Structure 1
Amino acid sequence: MKILQVERLTRAAFAPFGEVIELDGARHFPINGGTTERFHDLARVDVTDGGGRTLINLFRAQPRALPVEIALMERHPLGSQAFIPLQAGRYLVVVAPAGEFDPAHMRAFWTDAWQGVNYAKGVWHHPLLALDRVSDFVVVDRGGEGPNCDELQLARPWRLAFEASADLAA
Structure 2
Amino acid sequence: MKTLQMERLTRSAFAPFGDVIELDGARHFAINGGTTERYHDLANVDVTERGGRALINLFRAQPRALPVDITMMERHPLGSQAFIPLQQGRYLVVVAPAGEFDPTLMRAFWTDAWQGVNYAKGVWHHPLLALDQVSDFVVVDRGGEGNNCDELSLAEPWRLTFAASAELVA
Is 1:140 aligned to 2:140, yes or no?
yes
Residue matched to 1:49: 49
Partner Cα distance (1:53, 1:24) in 2: 29
Following superposition, which runs of at least 4 residues in structure 1 exceed 3 angstroms of deviation? none
Q: What amino acid is the match of 1:159?
A: R
TM-score normalised by length of structure 1: 0.98
Deviation at 1:165, TM superposition (A): 3.3
Paired residue total: 170
1:101 equivalent in alignment to 2:113: no
**Are 1:66 and 1:169, in contact at CA under 8 Å, matched by a contact in 2?**
no
1:144-163 matches, cutoff 5 A: 144-163=144-163
The aligned amino acid for 2:38 is R
Residues 6-46 of structure 1: per-residue CA shift (max 9 Å, x gap)? 00000000000000000000000000000000000000110
Paired residues of 1:97 and 1:106 also in contact (CA < 8 A): yes
CA shift digits 1:105-152 (9 cap, x unpaired):
000000000000000000000000000000000000000000000000
Q: Is the 8 A contact 1:61 1:136 kept in 2?
A: yes
Distance 1:111 1:169 in 2: 12
Alignment RMSD = 0.7
SS in 1 for 2:159: strand
Q: Which runs of 5+ in 1 are unaligned?
A: none
The alignment-based identity, stated in percent, is 86
1:1-170 counterparts in 2 under 5 A? 1-170=1-170
**Structure 1: how far apart are the matches of 2:36 and 2:169?**
38
Q: Distance in 1 between matches of 2:115 and 2:32?
A: 25
Q: Give the drift of 1:163.
A: 1.8
Q: Is this contact kept in 2: 1:20–1:117, CA < 8 A? A: yes
Secondary structure of 1:89's counterpart equals coil
| Whole-angstrom distance in 2 between the partners of 1:80 and 1:99 | 14
Secondary structure (helix, strand or coil) at the match of 2:165 reads helix
Tell me, in whole angstroms, the C-alpha distance in 1 between the residues paired with 2:82 and 2:27: 19
CA distance in 2, matches of 1:135, 1:19: 20
